[in-house]
Chain A
């Protein structure tokens, strides 16, 4: 089955851009749709954005255009860029996949998560 591993800096300065990568192994990255989800300390889950299997990207309107997701199929990488970060972006960041043909529009595989702190 597919395995996901997030990587990136654990500390980002305010106003800078957070960049994370999700490395996919165990199956073809093209077989799934991909999302980034985050969880602030002690809080619930917030969907950030996704790369649909069709190639379309969608984002959470609450992030007001600060988000970009992309995929590199040759390297099996799914990436997140979040610009102009503030302390409110401090969270555990997860990459997750869903398979329309299997369980549908739910996330059946998750990475272990990567903690990101926004501080100077």
Chain B
């Protein structure tokens, strides 16, 4: 079983600055199977990043992903008011087959 750990738990930032969120896995994983989601209150999660650094159509280029091995990151450049939300990383291929990190909440300072 691969455990996903996200840090920090909460990130308090002002609009306009950048945010870097971390997702660490307990074992080396295939970076093709690492994604990131954004979830706002009362909404379903929205896919932001797949295969570590690819953005789906319609996702702002202010969101970027990076990493390999056991360390992965999501960077949000120039935070806008609509970016304040909870962010989850997700992995495929371990047990359970799909797993999510505990989330990082980005809130307004």
B102 to chain A, nearest CB (A): 5
* In the assembled complex, A58 has its CB within 8 A of some CB on chain B: yes
Docked CA distance A107–B96 (Å): 15
- B74-96: contact bitstring with A at CB < 8 Å (1 yes, 0 no)? 00000000000000101011011
Docked CA distance A107–B51 (Å): 12
> Do A104 and B96 contact each other (CB < 8 Å), given the known contacts A45-B45, A111-B44, A113-B44?
no
A7 to chain B, nearest CB (A): 15
B interface bracket (residues with beta carbon within 8 Å of A): 20 to 34
Most buried by B among A50, A60, A103: A103
* In the assembled complex, B100 has its CB within 8 A of some CB on chain A: yes
Chain B residue nearest to A113 in the complex (CB): B44
Please give the number of chain A residues whose Cβ is less than 8 angstroms from any Cβ of chain B in the complex. 24
Chain B residues with CB under 8 A of A105: 32-33, 35, 92-93, 98
Docked CA distance A94–B42 (Å): 12
* In the assembled complex, B14 has its CB within 8 A of some CB on chain A: no
A30 to chain B, nearest CB (A): 20
- A78-108: contact bitstring with B at CB < 8 Å (1 yes, 0 no)? 0000000000000000101000000111111
- Cross-chain contact of B98 among A35, A108, A112, A113 (Cβ < 8 A): A35
> Do A45 and B100 contact each other (CB < 8 Å), given the known contacts A107-B47, A110-B44?
yes
Say yes or no: B98 contacts A47, CB within 8 Å.
yes
Chain A residues with CB under 8 A of B56: 103, 108
Chain B residues within CB distance 8 Å of chain A: 32-33, 35, 37, 43-47, 50-51, 54, 56, 88, 90, 92-93, 95-103
- Known contacts A104-B32, A107-B37; 17 further A-B pairs (Cβ under 8 A): A44-B100, A44-B101, A44-B102, A45-B37, A45-B45, A45-B100, A47-B96, A60-B96, A94-B44, A103-B50, A103-B51, A103-B54, A104-B33, A106-B35, A106-B47, A107-B47, A110-B46
10 A-B pairs with CB atoms under 8 Å apart are: A44-B88, A46-B100, A47-B96, A60-B97, A103-B50, A105-B33, A105-B93, A106-B92, A110-B46, A112-B44
